[in-house]
Chain A
Amino acid sequence: MITVKPEVQVPEKKLTQKNNKPSVYKTNQLNLWYGNNHALKNIDLDVKENEVTAIIGPSGCGKSTYIKTLNRMTETIPSVKTSGEIMYRGRNIFSKDYQVEELRTKVGMVFQKPNPFPKSIYDNIAYGPRIHGIKNKKILDQIVEKSLRGAAIWDEVKDRLNENAYGLSGGQQQRICIARCLAIEPDVILMDEPTSALDPISTLKVEELVQELKKEYSIIIVTHNMQQAARISDKTAFFLNGEVIEYDATDKIFSNPADKRTEDYISGRFG
């Protein structure tokens, strides 16, 4: 069971403050099908700037599908069809003239399983800036250091930047992937269960990192770990069978959910 600390239980004031923040993503009536499998149903979600938005729900409910739709990674799967719209900073990402590379340059992604490139640590971080045209060695050096510091892994790897990233532990690899994402200074970071393949200590490090990163980035994080959602997020969306059952301030969701199914889920009755 989750118990929420009383001092953060001041929903009224906090919510109005949050509502003043500009939206990063506005999802309107999004539907998605894998062939005949209706995986996302009439999703409406409004994601605010500089917040951590958690997406929770039992496995198979469409969390990954939703987050992958936000940077259009789902469109590589031939059977996928979508309807509705996702407004990113006021522009529909599905509109024909929206270049997918442009979107993904603004919206970084960290995956469930750490997936560094089979290159040196340095080249992993420098990959993004390089493909976007940054060639200057001095600038790249600065970006690499800044990104690695930003991902709280600089001290661990600063003496081995030229070694293959696969020599690192899983937790370190995941932070390399976060650093790789930071290197192009995105606006939003999408994270799909970034700690599910990590040990508890690495998990803690990534969670602390998320708290740090939210000062500069908007973060949408999928997690099947409810404690994690409660610890690190400002808003939580509860997904079930491809639908958003409830979306509210995390404190509210975990202390006083409006929907019975949310309550059942967070109290561990299913999932």
Chain B
Amino acid sequence: MLLISLCLWIKEDFTVSMKEPNTTLSVQELIAQKSNRGLLSAIEKIIPKLLLAIAAVSVLTTIGIMVTLIVETLVFFSRVSVLDYIFGTEWYPFANSTATYGVLPLIIGTLKITGIAIIVAVPIGIATAIYLSEYASERARKMIKPVLEVLAGVPTIVYGFFALTFVTPILRSIFPEVSIFNAISPGIVVGIMIIPMIASLSEDAMNSVPNSMREGAYALGSTKLEVALKIVLPAATSGIVASTVLAISRAIGETMIVAVAAGSTPRFDMDVTGSIQTMTAYIVQVATGDAGYGTTIYYSIYAVGFTLFLFTLVMNMLAQFISKRFREEY
């Protein structure tokens, strides 16, 4: 129906323009002649409904996922006490009769990876952003930005093998106590993975600081570095912090790198040289294993998934809050 009316509209347009232009007519008359308001307004009315329907699909899917997640999580908590789950320091789901589901070891594992990733990514990401926005020539910027985008598009499984077969051996040759599976190597690589995100979003934030600020600072005798660090960086803080929080959220949810390179030993300690397990890696382990439908282990991945979701949700909301609340006005 829509197509037909569109065709009609275009066809009519065509026939009118084929006519000899009548120079004696005023523009208003020409418009009146050409326009087909009836049909146009019909299309105008249909389009928003069509778009709404399309948008509704994605919203409904999200709701569906949420509902499944919550329902299955509730089943899990009908079998395992919430308090034992939240405060438990032992995660032994596979110990048949004595299984314990204390999630803290998985959370600690996730936090180790995230912490190492932040230590790697935030300084490098922000330094890259400062370079790109304040120092790089137009040419350098044009070359580096696409590289960053390519880096951001590398499949994470590739990063995972990079961690396992490249970074880990190097670490082990320097620090012999590091085991094959450990937190530090995937932590570093997750950091490398989120550098482009921090760099690119922070650069956007710094780029949107008006040039008049820089001029004002230069006119007072500032050096380039002073302008970058004392004017541009503070003026872009909200954007930089928000991008960092978003990147942290990605690090928390990162799965393949840790599944490949971090091991599968849930542990409640501060060690980063040995095998660990993160929330995501646990979900992969169970989902790719043969846990039967309806077992507590099966439901546990929903509980862990829900926990993970809460973490990333809070981070994303924090990012939004920061970029709204602390938006600099200029």
Contact A113 to B212, CB < 8 A, known contacts A73-B218, A101-B223, A181-B220: yes
Q: Is B219 an interface residue (CB 8 A)?
A: yes
Rounded to whole angstroms, the CA-CA distance of A103 and B218 in the bound complex is 11
State which residues 218-256 of B face A: CB under 8 Å. 218-223, 226, 230-231, 234-235
Contact A164 to B218, CB < 8 A, known contacts A101-B223, A117-B235, A119-B234: no
State which residues 179-223 of B face A: CB under 8 Å. 210, 212-213, 215-223
- Which residues of chain A come closer than 8 Å to B217, judged between CB atoms? 117, 127
- Of A15-23, A45-53, A104-112, A139-147, which stretch is located at the interface? A104-112
Minimum distance in angstroms from B134 CB to a CB of chain A: 12
Contact A111 to B223, CB < 8 A, known contacts A104-B218, A118-B330: no
Interface range for B: 20 to 34
B219 touches A131 (CB 8 A): no
A117 touches B329 (CB 8 A): no
Contact A71 to B219, CB < 8 A, known contacts A115-B212, A118-B235: yes
- Which residues of chain A come closer than 8 Å to B149, judged between CB atoms? none
B210's nearest neighbour on chain A, judged by CB, is A115
- Which residues of chain A come closer than 8 Å to B328, judged between CB atoms? 118
Within 8 Å by CB of A131, from B220, B329, B330, lies B220
Interface residues of B (CB under 8 A from A): 210, 212-213, 215-223, 226, 230-231, 234-235, 328-330
Please name 7 pairs of A and B residues whose Cβ atoms are closer than 8 Å in the assembled complex, sorted by A: A102-B221, A111-B215, A115-B213, A117-B217, A118-B234, A164-B329, A180-B220
Given contacts A73-B215, A184-B220, 12 further A-B contacts (CB under 8 A): A71-B219, A101-B222, A103-B221, A105-B221, A111-B215, A117-B231, A118-B234, A118-B328, A118-B329, A127-B220, A127-B230, A131-B226
Interface residues of A (CB under 8 A from B): 71, 73, 76, 101-105, 108-109, 111, 113, 115-119, 127-128, 131-132, 164, 166, 177, 180-181, 184
